[in-house]
Amino acid sequence: MAGPYSDAVYTTDEYGRPFIIVREQGKKTRSHGVEAIKSHILAARTVANIVRTSLGPRGLDKILISPDGEITVTNDGATILGQMEVEHQIAKLLVQLSKSQDDEIGDGTTGVVVLAGALLEQSEALLDRGIHPIRIADGFERACKIAVAELDRISDRVEFSKENTENLLKAAMTSLGSKIVSKAHRQFAQIAVDAVLSVADLARRDVDFELIKVDGKVGGSLEDTTLVQGVVIDKDMSHPQMPRTIKDARIAILTCPFEPPRPKTKHKLDIGSAEEYKKLQVYEKEKFADMVKRVKDTGANLVICQWGFDDEANHLLMQNELPAVRWVGGPEIELIAVATNGRIVPRFEDLSAEKLGKAGIVREVSFGTTRDKMLVVEECANTRAVTIFVRGSNKMIIDEAKRALHDAICVVRNLVVDNRVVYGGGAAEISCSVAVAKAADDIPSIEQYAMRAFASALDAIPLALAENSGLAPIETLADVKSRQVTENNSKLGIDCNARGQNDMKEQFVYDPLISKRQQYLLATQLVRAVLKIDDVITAGEDNE
């Protein structure tokens, strides 16, 4: 944007990370209030335009390079914006917008930023016509209420049960259509649905995400990804001669190390003779034997320890036929405790039979030519804990597959919470755009201009979908919109996958209603906030 105030440049730093520079020219004065808002709009629009090309099933990916040279390839809006180095304060608000959508809903992070960018673009045109920013914001709020009411009107309920999951599967496949896993998206959608239904409480409409762990290992292909009804930990048995499979496992879950007790304060031990050294050796051996005996007495046949133990302790465990796993991380320890209904024991004195975790089978699996080993705990006492084990040719693909699974799991979770859906492919946006434009005709005040601008901004989503799919954007949108009005069919959208029809219900392109509603509300709130800021004052600097 050329002007007396500022202009913006989209560039990259020495690591290849994209960021935005908004250069200020001259001193700010109070007469530049509208110009200041325009510069803020420019910065925010520049960010929105970066992710616009990633929208939809044919959206393109971005390569993000971290300061230490690590590469991330993704089209997830929240990840792209989260890793970008954004200098401008207003542009940072858009980054936080996508993060809040990700935290609250989990999906729709690109769409919410594109919509906010389109609203700000429309705001600039209204500012040029001399309309006050607050009147624009009020008009947007009014239009948003109409759009949300229209979403409720056009929504459909999708019925599902633990036996009939087809509708959930279609919603998860819609979410995965634009991801790197799209070649195996039915398999991934099935995994996401099965994982959510394994941990969901359908009576309370609640899903505990803590019980779903997503793990990955380089090697194999995406099709080798599996859902394990239990816990997978990236560890193996502490001794190579310990059994690889333990049936009817009774697990002692310890957060205390297998070693002689030491004083809490700094201590020093002087050994002046061979006899004293032998006494110490005997003492340590007795302590180790006592620890192993305490574990065996409870009936445990497997030890999972958060800390390590030395070769002597390992040898004693082997001799006493007590398999053990060491250096298991805190989150894994907690997950194993939840899955096996066991108690985490901080001291050997507290160990008892009631605190043991129970699992049908614990087995060590190895794969690949390098014989990587992992421990799988299955048939747990608490059958609700599950692990999704992702395979892929490299770390980059595994990371993106994990992000895709997160989005799909969130979509299924949203439908468990509220099973109403609207139709994707821009169908919901076009329907809301028509409703808002129609309502604007009955508004006598100046806010009607802002409401029409809101309707035009909603069209930005189907326009971007058509553009990213290689279609003629304006002609495609005009055709679909006219058909929606003449046929009174709110299910018509952009045919992104070139299937020869525009009915999104027939194509099974679903979006959860709560996700779409949240996008509209969050984008409108952000735009209102930006329109109310007419100056940026850095604390401690002279701003006269």
Q: Catalytic positions, please?
A: 76, 109-110, 407
Dihedral sign for Cα 342, 343, 347, 351, please: negative
What are the b/e assignments for 180-204, b being 16+ CB within 10 Å? bbeebbebbbbbbbbbbbbbbeeee
Q: How many CA atoms lie within 13 A of 282 on its CB side?
A: 6
Q: Which of 359, 293, 287, 375 is nearest to 326 (CA)?
A: 375
Q: Say how far residue 373 (Cα) sits from the centre of its chain.
A: 28
| Residues pairing with 435 in the sheet | none
Contact assessment for residue 98 and residue 78, using Cβ atoms and an 8 Å cutoff: yes
Rounded CA gap, 287 and 391, in Å? 43
Indicate the SS3 state at residue 240.
coil
What are the b/e assignments for 518-534, b being 16+ CB within 10 Å? bbbbbbbbbbbebbeee
Pairing of strands 510-512, 302-305: unpaired
Write a three-state SS string for 357-410: EEEEEEEEEEECCCCEEEEEEEEECCCCCEEEEEEECCHHHHHHHHHHHHHHHH
Contact assessment for residue 215 and residue 232, using Cβ atoms and an 8 Å cutoff: yes
Contact assessment for residue 8 and residue 20, using Cβ atoms and an 8 Å cutoff: yes
Pairing of strands 344-345, 245-254: parallel
Rounded CA gap, 270 and 62, in Å? 61
Indicate the SS3 state at residue 62.
strand
